[in-house]
Structure formats: C-alpha cells, structure tokens
Amino acid sequence: MILQQSYLEVRAKLLEIAATLDRIQAAPGGEAVSGDHSDRRRIDTAIEILASDDSRRAARLQHLFSRPYDADWRKKMEL
Amino acid sequence: MDYIDPHIHMVSRITDDYETLARMGCVAMSEPAFWAGFDRGSVDGFRDYFRQLTEVEPRRAAQYGIQHYTWLCINAKEAEDVSLSRDVIAMIPEFLDRANVLGIGEIGLNKNTKNEATIFLEHLDVAAEHRQPILIHTPHLEDKYQGTRMILDMLTGDSRLDPDRVLVDHVEEHTIDEVLGRGFWAGMTLYPVTKCTPSRAADMIERTGGEKLLANSAGDWGPSKPTAVPDLIFELRRRGHSEALIKKVVYDNPLEFFSRSKNFHFNPRV
C-alpha cells in the first residue's frame, strides 16, 4: 500500500534526478563530467545503493555524502 | 493539537508568523541563540541580541498566547573567533536568571575546526558551573556525521554532564542512533534541502518509538517553514498513528526536556 501511495512521488523525484543528469551532460563541457569527477562518482554510488536490497538506504546515503570521523581527532587537534 | 516548537528563530520572523503559529496550535517555543547571517563585530552586539531574546521575543509571543523560552551562547560559526567568543561566554551568566532562559545553546560545531571545539568545551564549562541544560547544534550536510561524533566525544568525556539534560539537535538517519544510544535527547529539524522532511522524521519516529525524540522547524532567515511541526503531525495522522504517539513527540517530550531547567514554568491551556 505504501508503494501505491508513494509511487507518483517517487516517480517525480526520479525524473528530477534523471533530468538533472541529462542537463549536466548537455551543458558545455558536460561530457567531461564523467565518473572521474568525485561528486559524479558519489552520485553513481548513491544510485547503486538505491537499487540495492538494503533496508537502510537513507542512512547509507547519508554516510556516502559525509566526511569521515577520525577517532583520534582530539589528539590531532591537541584538545 | 497543541504543540511546542523546541527550536525556532523568531528574531528572524515577522509578527504575522506568531499569529499563524498560534492558529496552528503552537502554545510554546524555545529559541536558541544562533548565527544571524553575518558575523557580529563585538560583544555588545551579542548583549543586544540576548536582550532581544529575553525581553522582546517573549513579549511578541505573548500577544498570541505563545510562551517563549530561549537559550544563550555564541554559535558554532562565530566561535571561530576565539577572542570574541570568550568575551561573549563571560557575559552569558548575567542573563541566566532571566525568566525565559532555559540553558546554554545552541552550541556545537560548524566546520569541525579546533577553534570551534575549543569554544564548545568552554561553553560546557559554563553549563556545568551553572548547572544549565544544553541544546546542541550539529553541523550541516557532509560535516554532520563527523561533527556529531566529535560533539558526542566531548559530551561523554565530561563527567559533570548528565545526558538527560542535553538535547542534540538536527539528527538524521546516520546520527540518530549515535545520539539516542548514549542517553541524550534527540531533535529532528524539518528544514528543506539541508536537513530532514516530515516523511523522513516520521520514519525515524516509527523506528525508535519516539522515545526522547523531539521535532522542530528551526524557522529562521533562510528558506524554512515555521509551520513544519504541524506538517509532521499531519504526516503521522495520515499514516494512522495514535494521537498519543504524536502528542508524545510534539508536546510531552519538549515539556519533559524543558523541565530539566529551573526557569521552566509552563502554563498549559485548560
């Protein structure tokens, strides 16, 4: 039932992403923004996460787009 | 349903917003000290700001039957200026006995720098010395996870602090368990683009049962929606959740957390 209720909203959001990627590619120099660009790689990885069976996709996406935590930060900052 | 917005910046909103919020059921709010959109130049700028938070906003709110509370600090962004920060921190105790002051906040990190962490620790000293509850700002976007973990390290490393008197705000899917798992209160901010939507907040409520969880609009001078908490109420009702669960998150939990402050005197509607 949730799938039925949310289908059109998800469809709209996916179209928005698809159109944005098309726009990036169509822009001058757009063909150069390929998998070598780190932001583009993150987007591609995010799309793989979405397509997976993982039930914690949102949390995984958050971690993908996050700076890593270093447990030694206090020592490095001398605090 | 009566609700409380535990994190909203009314200094940056017009009086019409108070009327709208009152009509939508807001009976109380708490407003932490924040970054005004520019870096203030002197401690006197903060003194005037604290006067606005403790004198002007409660009066504006009262015109519409809303009880206004506040938290005081120098925010994480301006904390990069250590000298100014120390002058502001020295001034905070002057205001702690004002009637609507709940504690120290919203302190935290912005870009997770050494200066920000230094000033965060000095705020903890003030909070501990004056036995004040604390409201925490966690960073935005890619800095959130790293900054939240650093903040939690500093909080749990201080034996003077009681997690039950600390609210860690702006949690999202990758930080909520870290916060709740250590016994702190957690706030979800319903703020477009850079934070959370009502749907995602509802998901987190479903996963956690709503224990020690609050929701807020963080309405401010940027693109934001002060009526976001009613949006969450609507989403939870749409999903068929009980009035008891909804009231727990948007009314009971804020009341319970604020009651940790000696200055919290709330008059419920009868």
Q: Can you list the domains of chain B with their CATH numbers?
A: 3-258 (3.20.20.140)
CA dist B46 → A24, B11, B12, B248 (Å): 44, 13, 15, 35
> Are the C-beta atoms of residues B166 and B136 closer than 8 Å to each other?
yes
Contact B145 A74 (CB under 8 A): no
Mean predicted confidence (pLDDT) in A49-78: 96
Q: In this predicted structure, what is the pLDDT of residue A37?
A: 81
What pLDDT score was predicted for residue B165? 98
For A64, the closest chain B residue by CA position comes to B142
If we measure between CA atoms, which residue out of B130, B84, B126, B129 comes closest to residue B107?
A: B126
Helix or strand (DSSP H, E) at B166: strand B166-168
pLDDT band with cut points at 50, 70 and 90 for residue A36: low
Going by pLDDT thresholds of 50, 70 and 90, the confidence category of residue A35 is: low
In chain A, residues with a C-beta closer than 8 Å to the C-beta of B142 are 65-67
Of A56, A58, A62, the CB nearest to B145: A62
Predicted local confidence at residue B192, as pLDDT: 75
Position B193 scores a pLDDT of: 76
- Taking contacts as CB-CB distances below 8 angstroms, the residues of chain A near B114 are 77-79
Residues of A within 8 A of B181 (CB-CB) are none
CA distance B70 to B72: 7
Q: Which residues of A touch B202 (CB under 8 A)?
A: none
Checking if the pLDDT of A32 tops 80, the result is no
Confidence bin at A77 (pLDDT 50/70/90) = very high
Question: Among B118, B124, B142, B197, which would you mutate to test the A interface (most chain A Cβ atoms within 10 Å of its Cβ)?
Answer: B142
Q: Is A58 at the interface with chain B, CB within 8 A? A: yes
What pLDDT score was predicted for residue A34?
61
CB pairs A-B closer than 8 Å: 44
Residue A31, pLDDT > 90, answer: no
Q: Could you give the strand order of the β-sheet that contains B134-137, starting from the edge strand earlier in sequence?
A: B3-5, B26-32, B67-72, B101-108, B134-137, B166-168, B185-189, B213-216
Cβ proximity of B93 and B62 under 8 Å: no
- Asked if A62's CB is within 8 angstroms of B146's CB, the reply is no
- Region A53-79 average pLDDT: 96
Q: Is A28 on the interface with B (CB under 8 A)?
A: no
Residue B234 carries which side chain, given as an amino acid letter? F
Q: What is the reported pTM? A: 0.94
B35: Cβ–Cβ under 8 A, 6 or more apart, which residues? B75, B76, B77, B78
**Chain B within 8 Å of A68 (Cβ-Cβ)?**
yes
Q: Scan for tokens 């005004």, then name that residue.
A: B36
**A6 has pLDDT over 70:** yes
Please name the residue of chain B whose CA is at the shortest distance from the CA of residue A60.
B174
User: CA torsion sign, B118 to A68 to B181 to B235?
Assistant: positive
Query: CB-based contact (8 Å) between B206 and chain A?
Result: no
Q: What's the DSSP call for residue A32?
A: G
B144 touches chain A (CB under 8 A): yes
pLDDT in tens, B219-260: 999 889 999 999 999 999 999 999 999 999 999 999 999 999
Which among B251, B196, B270, B219 has a CA at the least distance from the CA of B16?
B219
- The beta-carbon neighbor of A79 closest among B118, B142, B172 is B118
User: B173, B206, B207, B238: which to substitute to probe chain A, counting the most A Cβ within 10 Å?
Assistant: B173
- To the nearest whole Å, the CA of B142 is away from the closest chain A CA by 4
Nearest to B146 among A56, A66, A77 (CB): A66
Taking 50 as the pLDDT cut, the residues of chain B under it are none
CB atoms within 10 A of CB A19: 10
